[in-house]
């Protein structure tokens, strides 16, 4: 009897059923752990390695995915993150000059102009009066008129006002502090660090690998790891270890699963030792391709063949 094909096995829904000579085995699918009869998701993000993600790791059933902070985009390896040059699109929204920075950008004005409170448009500098309109106040970011002090300085989100009450200091809350991977706020400003397997560039911001180039473009991440399967074998007479042929067949099974496009089946899909097993409901017949179900529906004196 093939318990896997007959759906009489006790394998977990997240396991693969493998038929044997006199019984069957259950193995948890990649991304799951357990004895095959009960499988639970592996949280790849719950480790110091962070799933190999240089920014953020999000665990999903049977797998995980990496995401990047604002101002960065995910590299082709799915793990590393690269800076987005906002100035390449519509000049970053800046009226005059756009300067790209790691994880962010800033707008500057030409001589005779100063940056408005929206940090994008430029205002012509007036010659008279010590107020916010002529930029003589010296505020690096935002100037606010006050009844008592005359002019007071504020900073954009992600910056802190310096001790001189005019300049603004960058923090990790803005563009990841200009850091490629990890950022830590210190008294001297953001301090950058890199994910394991990377090293800090001489600019103290970018992260490179041992050959001196940023990783991720058109490379397969070294962080990709093989998942291990945990199997339990139901005792059978004179049971022996799997042969090399069985092992190769098992490895092929891991590439085909009902979790992906229903295994190609029209109707019911079941993971078995020989791959996915398709079946059809009553009144339908499984076709020669092993995937398609065909049935007959009678209407009065005619028979209409329906291919589903």
Which is higher by pLDDT, 128 or 157? 157
* Joined tokens for residue 118: 């929206």
| 149 neighbors 129 (Cβ within 8 angstroms) | no
pLDDT (0 to 100) of residue 37: 94
**134 or 103: which leads in pLDDT:** 103
**pLDDT at 232 exceeding the cut of 80:** no
Ranges 129-138, 167-176, 241-250, most confident? 167-176
pLDDT at 90: 93
**52 exposure class (CB count in 10 Å sphere: 0-12, 13-18, 19+):** buried
Once rounded to an integer, what is the mean pLDDT over residues 156-175? Answer: 86
- pLDDT band with cut points at 50, 70 and 90 for residue 291: confident
- What single-letter DSSP state applies at residue 228? P
What tokens appear for 206 in the block?
Answer: 């970018």
pTM: 0.47
> pLDDT grade, residue 148 (50/70/90)?
low
Inform me whether the pLDDT recorded for 207 exceeds 50. yes
The string over 193-212, giving b where at least 16 C-beta atoms fall within 10 Å of a residue's C-beta and e elsewhere, is ebbebbebeeeebbbbbeee
Which range is least confidently modeled, 30-44, 61-75, 190-204? 190-204
Question: What is the percent of the chain with per-residue pLDDT over 70, rounded to a whole number?
Answer: 71
Better pLDDT: 113 or 302: 113
Distance CA 19, CA 230 (A): 16
Q: Is residue 226 predicted with pLDDT exceeding 70?
A: no
Cα(296)–Cα(61) distance, integer angstroms = 39
What mean pLDDT, rounded, does the chain reach?
Answer: 77
What is the predicted pLDDT for the residue at 222? 39
Q: What is the pLDDT of residue 203?
A: 87
Q: What are phi and psi of 14, to 5 degrees?
A: -100, 30
Q: Between residues 265 and 41, which one has the greater pLDDT?
A: 41
> Is a pLDDT exceeding 90 seen at residue 67?
yes
Lowest-confidence region among 90-94, 133-137, 267-271, 282-286 = 133-137
């Amino acid at each position: 009897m093939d318990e896997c094909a007959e759906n009489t096995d006790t394998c977990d829904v997240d396991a693969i059923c493998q038929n044997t000579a006199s019984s069957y085995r259950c193995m948890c699918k990649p991304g799951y752990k357990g004895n095959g009869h009960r499988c639970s998701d592996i949280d790849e993000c719950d480790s110091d390695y962070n799933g190999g993600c240089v920014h953020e790791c999000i665990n999903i059933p049977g797998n995980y995915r990496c995401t990047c902070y604002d101002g960065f985009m995910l590299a082709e390896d799915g793990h590393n993150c690269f800076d987005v040059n906002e100035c390449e699109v519509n000049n970053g929204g800046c009226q005059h000059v756009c300067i790209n920075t790691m994880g962010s950008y800033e707008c500057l004005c030409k001589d005779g102009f100063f940056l408005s409170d929206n940090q994008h448009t430029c205002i012509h500098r007036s010659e008279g009066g010590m107020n916010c309109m002529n930029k003589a106040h010296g505020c690096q970011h935002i100037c606010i008129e006050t009844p008592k002090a005359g002019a007071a300085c504020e900073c954009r989100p992600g910056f802190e006002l310096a001790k001189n009450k005019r300049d603004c200091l960058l923090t990790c809350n803005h563009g990841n502090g200009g850091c490629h991977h990890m950022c830590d706020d210190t008294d001297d400003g953001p301090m950058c660090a890199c994910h394991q397997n990377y090293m800090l560039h001489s600019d103290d911001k970018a992260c490179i690998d041992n050959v001196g180039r940023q990783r991720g473009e058109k490379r397969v991440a070294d962080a990709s790891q093989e998942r291990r399967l945990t199997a339990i074998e139901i005792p059978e007479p004179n049971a022996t270890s799997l042969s090399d042929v069985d092992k190769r067949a098992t490895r092929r099974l891991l590439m085909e699963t009902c979790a992906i496009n229903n295994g190609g089946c029209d109707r019911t899909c079941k993971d078995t030792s020989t791959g996915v097993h398709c079946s059809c409901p009553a009144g339908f017949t499984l076709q020669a391709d092993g995937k398609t179900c065909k049935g007959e529906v009678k209407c009065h004196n005619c028979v209409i063949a329906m291919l589903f």
